[in-house]
Structure 1
Amino acid sequence: MNAPLRLEILVASARPERFADVPAGWLVTALRERPDFEVGVLDLRDWSLPTDLTDTPEVEDYRSRLAAADAFIAVTSEYNHGYPASLKTALDSAKREWRAKPIGFVSYGGLSGGLRAVEQLRQVVAELHMVSVRESVSFAQAKRRFDKNGMTNDDAAIDACDRMLNQLAWWGTTLRAARTVEPYPG
């Protein structure tokens, strides 16, 4: 039980000219200092998940990655006051693999910083029997928050990230232990 938690980062935007790589890269860098996590990145631009939710070999591979994970972080933009369709497809392409696992959010966008997308996502992940950690990271006017190397000096975001990761570690460890004792009843 002392093994690092397997954390999968879901990079939600699949747009060709996206900004997602910047906050996702910053998050991966922050996680390098956390020995309690073993990090993987599920970039949804690289996965051909069918929108009609049919089973394919790639969907099975995707579900296997999810099943092996102990925790998740979604890095999401906000499109038209919501989250990207690619993330909805990714969430709907699996079911039991999500259950009894925590998820945190790093959002970015204009004035709202993606917070409207995160509020919608909290409802969806609750239906998937996930635990949405309270703390999240939000970058309003995101392109102004990062330097040319993809780093930020936004103290509020750095602090929120640390608190979010601490909450993910606690929930991830607790739920992993609980799943080994008894399968989740959902």
Structure 2
Amino acid sequence: MEITPLRVAVVIGSAREGRFGPTVAAWIAAEIGLRPELVPELVDVAEVGSGTVTKQLGLADAFIVVTPEYNHSFPAPLKAVIDDHYTEWQAKPVAFVSYGGLSGGLRAVEQLRPIFAELHAVTVRDTVSFHGGRKCFDVDGRVADPESSAAAGRLLDRLTWWAHTLRDARVARPYAS
């Protein structure tokens, strides 16, 4: 029995000029790409006006939100994309990769969890967090600490389980919105 690969939308949550999100997103997308059962697709909140974001989110089986922490919270463009796409998130798993100063973006993640719960999405407990952001990556976008890949592996294991489980459930019984 052949299983259709899971589409994982990697949402770049910042639209600021000079942002670091694309580097972090490229790293986690490469980690996803190592798994034959997963297919990564980058979704950039900076490209909201292009019309492709809704399609990308709608086709996704799972999400990884890459978010910085700005002023103890998450970026406004990310919130706008979340709020503008209600059914696209429903009955799908969401995981987080965060970055920022001392907290590594974890305060932003904790604020995002109840928002996704309100949209009937399931958040994955495991998170990858980069304390100090840019200092955790070399100039080529590789992580300095090999434990980051191990943490990403745990996150992807759980995201994959939820994505398969929820995709199968949506096929068997459409989610009541």
Q: Distance in 2 between matches of 1:121 and 1:136?
A: 12
1:112 aligns with 2:103: yes
TM-score (norm 1): 0.90
SS of the aligned residue for 2:104 comes to coil
Which of 120, 123, 143 pairs up with 1:132? Answer: 123
1:18 aligns with 2:19: yes
Q: CA deviation at 1:153?
A: 3.0
Q: CA deviation at 1:77?
A: 0.3
Q: Distance in 1 between matches of 2:57 and 2:44?
A: 13
Q: Which moved more, 1:1-10 or 1:162-171?
A: 1-10
Q: Name the Cα RMSD after superposition.
A: 1.3
Runs of 4+ in 1 over 3 A off after TM superposition: none
Give the match for residue 37 of structure 2. Answer: 36
Gaps of 5+ in 2: none
Q: Is the 8 A contact 2:94 2:121 kept in 1?
A: yes
Q: Is the 8 A contact 2:48 2:81 kept in 1?
A: no
Q: Distance in 1 between matches of 2:58 and 2:26?
A: 24
After superposition, where does 1:1-186 map in structure 2 within 5 Å? 2-48=3-49, 58=51, 61-186=52-177
User: Quick one: percent identity of the two aligned structures?
Assistant: 45
Q: CA deviation at 1:17?
A: 1.0
Aligned residues: 176
What do the CA deviations read for 1:110-154 (whole angstroms, capped 9, x no partner)?
000000000000010000100100101000011111111111132
TM-score (norm 2): 0.95
